[in-house]
Structure 1
């Protein structure tokens, strides 16, 4: 419970930037929308740093590196998505980083219900393929990576599972927005971005659950009790 005020304070900048970004998106302020989009994930990375430094917490290096890789690659994807193939490639790489995070950070087997992602993937491709044209290959590869990431997120905790689920929801809606006439209004665009930001925050919070006190003695005690 002592971590709750620290977490709230650490991620206050992310919540503030995200709320402002979503507000300008909802208002249809295109230029301000573009200008603030690239600030959201850096604010989330800042929150991770504050939690670890101020809280004097230690995160296993493989977990920290894969988490930061996923966030940085997502940020690059955010700011390059105007070129769809480039942006999608960075997001695909981000999902690979998150897969690695769930593999190195957690030991549980994926939950059985993650098999439902096979049906989601098949249904999404059936719905979108007629509109994809030459982009079919990369979108199919991205969808497979997204599904696998969401399945592996069930190896972790409630936060990681929520993160994987919200990512699937956000990207599914975004795919229909990009390739069909659906979800074209500012409120629907705002919902898609809100789900994406919530997914990133949940994955971060799930990874931070692995943090232990930085002092060697306290860390050994925490690891022994785990």
Structure 2
């Protein structure tokens, strides 16, 4: 399964290196990231039987919405870039939240762990620090912060791969928020950090969800096999014992 994510890892590495170097090719390579991740998700999920249609479909929707957010200035040239970026990534986070909450076999805990309360504190601090600098975008930024924190919170119900994906996605958008609204406080190298943590977050979320779906399918198949074997024994009489 992991082999399907190799092209995404390669494209991510190239893009992040270009971003840290301030190379002009960093921007166009950014638009290759999420299509590569979609191919990874579909290729890896196609090997799962039965195919996890709901989780895979909503996950792909989230990745594609992220792609639109990555290229908001390119895809929506006549509209304000930042609001469109927030809207697209808001849709992506809602999709991820659905997968973490409703996706069959994705969550491994029945409840959100106590430590995830740290994400509520993160949101309060973020708005307290950046709120005075957001101007007319205060409400959209606050709402986006809620869905971003919601994604990280619900990811904590899942396995460590997905949970770390939620952490890195939140770190990425936090750095980006400071670059947007407090640019003088952020050195140039933080642009590379935004994309490094973003690529990590997206990749871990996608790989973790597909892996969890595969394990859930394997578990269901094993249970069905045991049930079938049990019914066969019952039909044929008690097994010989000594």
TM-score range, shorter chain: 0.7 to 0.9
Aligned residues: 214
SS in structure 2 opposite 1:207? helix
Alpha-carbon offset, residue 10 of structure 1? 1.2
Structure 2 counterpart of 1:45: 38
CA 58–21 in structure 1, closer or farther in 2 if over 3 Å, else same: farther
CA 34–163 in structure 1, closer or farther in 2 if over 3 Å, else same: same
Hey, what's the Cα distance between the residues in 2 that align with 1:212 and 1:101? 14
Consecutive unaligned residues in structure 2, runs of 5 or more: 75-80, 227-242
* Structure with bigger gyration radius: 2
SS in structure 2 opposite 1:20? helix
In the alignment, does 2:178 pair up with 1:176? yes
Q: C-alpha offsets along residues 162-196 of structure 1, whole Å, 9 cap, x if unaligned?
A: 011111111111100111022240x2111111101
Consecutive unaligned residues in structure 1, runs of 5 or more: 1-5
In the alignment, does 2:88 pair up with 1:90? yes
CA 17–220 in structure 1, closer or farther in 2 if over 3 Å, else same: same
Alpha-carbon offset, residue 208 of structure 1? 1.1
Structure 2 counterpart of 1:27: 21
SS in structure 2 opposite 1:11? helix
Q: Equivalences for 1:96-107 in 2 at 5 Å?
A: 96-105=94-103, 106=107
Alpha-carbon offset, residue 20 of structure 1? 1.1
Alpha-carbon offset, residue 64 of structure 1? 1.0
Alpha-carbon offset, residue 139 of structure 1? 0.2
Q: Name the TM-score, length of structure 1 as normaliser.
A: 0.87
Cα RMSD over matched residues?
A: 2.2
Q: C-alpha offsets along residues 144-177 of structure 1, whole Å, 9 cap, x if unaligned?
A: 1111111111111111110111111111111001
Q: Equivalences for 1:98-117 in 2 at 5 Å?
A: 98-105=96-103, 106=107, 108-117=110-119
